[in-house]
Structure 1
C-alpha cells in the first residue's frame, strides 16, 4: 500500500458516513400519483420510468436533491455504483444505500468518486451468482478509502470534473461515429435491395421485371428443434441470440447429442436462418450458415434453403435491409413481450431477383463495405475502451494524491475525521437515550438482521419488526414481503430449529455471509 501525502488519512466508508437502506415496496403499493420511488434502474438510466407511492413513509427513506446513493445489488458492471441524486424529493427503494455524512468535513462529490474507484473491490467481495450479486452493509462500511483535507477534496473534485466533461464529450463523439457507421450499414443494405450497387445500364435492364416472393425462389422453409438443449454435448444448437449484426455468433452456445435431432435439424452450407420470434425490435434478423462447424438450429429460427435462382447472402442482405426490417415490423404478430413472424408471412416477402452473376456482384460490394465498416467500428470501440482506462488512471492518481492538488495550509484530514467520529459517537449515545425512553423507530428486516450479524429466531425478528400479538394479516404482510424479497435475492439464510425428538419447532434466520 503506497504512502499517502501529508495531511491525508486512511479511513473506512463506515467511519465517515451512515448508511440508510431503502424500503421494500410491493407492486400493490404503487399508485398513479405521489413521490417517485428511486430504483437502481433510475440511477443507471435517467430515462427509465418511475413507480410512484402516495402512502406514509419514514423520514430515513426520503431522498433529497444532492444526496449520495449507492446501488449495492445487481449485475456487476451495470448495476453497482455511487450516484449523486439530481432529481426532486423521492423515496429510496431497497438495494440502495443513502450515504449520509457531514458536508463540513466530507465533499459528497469527492466521496462518490472515491467509492466508485473501489467498485472492483466491491464486486469481488460481493456474494451471489455470476448474474446477480450483493454487497453487504458490513462489507461496504469496512471498505477503505484515502481521505484528504476537505479543501483538497474540493480541488480534486473540480479537477476531475473537467476531465469527466472532456471524457463525456469524447464518448458522445464516439457514439455519434458508431451511429454514423450503423447508418452507413443500413444504406449499404438498402442499396443491395434497390440494386443501386449495380451499374446504371444493368439496373435499368431490371426496371421492368417484377419482384419475386421468397416462396418462389427457395426449396424449403422449416422450423427448428423444440427439444431441450444442454450446456455440453456433441453439436451446437444455434438460437436467436447467436444471430448478431447479420452474422452467426458462436459464443454462448448450447448443445445436443441426440442423433435423431442432429440428423433432422442439421445445417448445410448456405442455409439461411431467419429469427421468427424475438422482441419487436429484433424479430426477423437473419444470417447465413457457412459451415463453420456442425450445428443444428432451435425452434425460434426458420431454416430457408435457396433454389438456384437466388444466392443465400443476397437473400440475407435483402431481409436485413431497411426494406426487409420494415416488412417484418408490419407483418409481425405481437405478444406480451415478444413478436412472431411465421413462415407464411416470411414466404410472402418480395424482392428483386437479378441474375446470379449480378447478385454476386451485389454480394461482393456489400461484403467489402461491411468489412470496412467493421474495421472502423472496431477502432471506435477500442478508442472508447482506452478512453475509459485513461480516465480511470487519472481518477486513481487524483484519489491517491498524485495530481499536485495538495496545500500545506490545509487542515489535516485526521482532525476532520476525529470530529466526525466524535459526532457519530454522540449521535449513538443520543439514540440509545431516545430508545430507552420511547419506542424505537421501526427498522426494516434487513436492517435488523444486519445489525445483529447472527442467527435470530423468527419470533424475535417479528417482534423487533414491530408485529404485536393479534396483528391483522394486513399488518403482517410487509414483514413477510421483505422476507420473500431477501430470500429471492439470495440474502437470507433460513434454518430449522429441532427439538430433542428431531421435530421442527421453529425457524431462525440471518443474513448470508459473503462468499
Structure 2
C-alpha cells in the first residue's frame, strides 16, 4: 500500500520498497555445525562503512546460505544497540568479502528496482540522526529496532534521476571527507614514527650518550590526588576533569561535570600540569595529558593524579610524551591491579618505573617541538574534516528535507 504526496514523493512501507530480513540467530549448535561460513554482526557495521577485520563464522545449510548470503548493494542496519542513538546505524555492503552472511543482530534491506542502495542508506542515516528509529525502537537494556517495525516505516520513493542527483552530491563531499581522513592517518603515522625514533632509548639495552635512565620518582618527586566530591551538570560549579576527558595527550572538554562546592587552590589546575589516569579499563588506564589553561578555573577528579615534575630536569611536555609511548603504556598496564570492572595503577608503583630522557632540557624541547609540528597539522586537518562533516549534514538536511522524508 502506498500514498503519493503533492510534492511527488510516493510513500511506501520499507517492506514494499525492498526486502527486509533479519539475520540468522547464533546458537551453540551453529558454532560447531558443518558448512561454516563467515558472517557479519553488529560489531562490524558502522555508519557508512563495514569493518571486515573481525569476522566470525557459524554453520549455514545450503538453504540458509541462499537466504542469508549478502549481495553487493544490500544495506545492513544495526538491529539492537545499548545506545538508543545508534539503533539503525547502517552501511551498504560492497561485496568486498565473498560468501558473507549476516547474524540477527543486523537487519538486511535489499532495495527494489525503484530504489538506489546509496539513496536508501542516505535516508536511513537521516532517519537515525532525526530520531526516527529511536521513536519506533523497543527500549529495554538493549534497544531493538525490530525487523517488523522497520518494515512498516514509510519510505519516500522519488524518481531514480532525483535519487542519483542526491547521491552524487553527497558522494562528492564524502570523497573530500575520505581524503581528509587519509591525510590525518598519514600524519598520525608520521608522528608515531618520529616518537618511536626520537625515543628509541626507551627500548635500548642501555641509555645512549646524552641520555640518562633513572627511576621516575627522581624527576617526579611528588603527585597530587584529585577531589572526591559528588559531581553534577550545573556549570555554575567548578569544571572537573574526569578519566574520559583525557585523550591524545590533551584534555577534551566535552561531557564535563562540575564540583558544586568551593575547591581549595591546591586542587585547581595550573598551566603545564601533567595529569595521569590511574583508574580505568585496561585499555585506557594510563591516559595522560597536559593542561594548557583551556578554562579559567578547573580541577580534577580522584581517578586522576597530577604528576609534579622537577622542571629543572624534565619538561612537562616530554613527561607526557614518555607516558604515551607504546612501550610505557605496556609497562603501566603490567603494574595495574584489577578492581571491580576496572584496573588501578598505584602512583607509587608508577614512580618506580624507569624513565629515559635527554639530560639536556634543550634536547627535550627539540624532541617535543618536532611532535608539536605534527600535532598542529593534524589539528588543521581535523578542523577541515569537521567543516566537511557539517557541510555534509547541511546538504543532507537540504536534499533529504526532514519534513518531507519522515512520516
Global fold match (TM > 0.5)? yes
TM-score (norm 1): 0.56
In structure 1, distance between residues paired with 2:382 and 2:116: 39
Correspondence 1:88 to 2:99: yes
- Cross-structure match for 1:31: 31
Indicate the residue corresponding to 1:372 in structure 2.
376
Structure 1 contact 31–52 (Cα < 8 Å) conserved: yes
Hey, what does 2:12 align to over in structure 1? 11
Bigger Rg over Cα: 1
Residue 330 of structure 2 is aligned to residue 329 of structure 1: yes
In structure 2, do the counterparts of structure 1 residues 170 and 237 end up closer, same or farther at CA, with 3 Å as the change threshold? Answer: closer
CA offset digits 1:375-424 (Å, max 9, x no partner) = 52344323541563477379649xx9xxxxxxxxxxxxxxxxxxxxxxxx
Looking at structure 2, the residues matched to 207 and 101 of structure 1 have their Cα atoms a distance apart, in angstroms, of 66
Counterpart of 1:297 in structure 2 is 301
Distance in 1 (CA, whole Å) between partners of 2:45 and 2:172 is: 22
Aligned to 2:157: 146
Sort the Cα spacing of 1:266 and 1:312 in 2 relative to 1 into closer, same or farther, 3 A: farther
Structure 2 segments unaligned to the other structure (5+ residues) = 202-207
Where do residues 248-327 of structure 1 align in structure 2 (5 Å cutoff)?
Answer: 248-256=251-259, 266-269=267-270, 270-278=272-280, 282-289=284-291, 292=295, 293-299=297-303, 301-320=304-323, 324-327=325-328
Q: Secondary structure at the match of 1:303?
A: strand
Which residue of 243, 246, 253 corresponds with 2:249?
246
Alignment of 1:97-496 (within 5 A): 97-99=107-109, 103=113, 111-121=120-130, 122-123=132-133, 125-127=135-137, 133-135=143-145, 137-138=148-149, 141-148=152-159, 153=160, 169-186=175-192, 207-208=209-210, 210-221=212-223, 229-232=230-233, 234-256=237-259, 266-269=267-270, 270-278=272-280, 282-289=284-291, 292=295, 293-299=297-303, 301-320=304-323, 324-330=325-331, 332-333=333-334, 342-343=346-347, 344-354=349-359, 358=362, 362=366, 365=369, 369=373, 372-373=376-377, 375-385=379-389, 388-389=392-393, 392=396, 396=400
2: CA distance, partners of 1:89 / 1:283:
36
Which one of 45, 64, 68 corresponds to residue 43 of structure 1?
Answer: 45
> Secondary structure at the residue paired with 1:309?
coil
Deviations along 1:232-254, one digit per CA (max 9) or x if unpaired, are 57555533211122112233234
Alignment TM-score, normalising by the size of structure 2: 0.68
Which runs of 5 or more structure 1 residues have no equivalent in the other structure? 196-205, 401-515
Per-residue deviation at 1:93?
0.6
1:177, CA displacement in angstroms? 0.9
Cα deviation digits, residues 459-499 of structure 1 (max 9, x gap): xxxxxxxxxxxxxxxxxxxxxxxxxxxxxxxxxxxxxxxxx
- Mark the CA change 1:313 to 1:335 in structure 2 (over 3 Å): closer, same or farther: closer
In structure 1, how many angstroms separate the alpha carbons of the residues matched to 2:365 and 2:12?
67
User: What is the DSSP-based 3-state SS (H/G/I as helix, E as strand, rest coil) of the residue aligned with 1:47?
Assistant: coil
RMSD of the TM alignment (CA)? Answer: 4.8
Residue 140 (structure 1) shift: 5.2
What CA distance in whole angstroms lies between the structure 1 residues aligned with 2:101 and 2:299?
A: 52
Return the alpha-carbon distance in structure 1 between the equivalents of residues 310 and 120 of structure 2.
65
CA distance change for structure 1 residues 77 and 91 in 2, over 3 Å: closer, same or farther? closer
Partners of 2:68 and 2:305 lie apart in 1 by: 51
CA distance in structure 1 between the partners assigned to 2:250 and 2:93 by the alignment: 41
Of 237-246 and 365-374, the range deviating more from structure 2: 365-374
Cα distance 1:32–1:255, how it changes in 2: closer, same or farther (>3 A)? farther
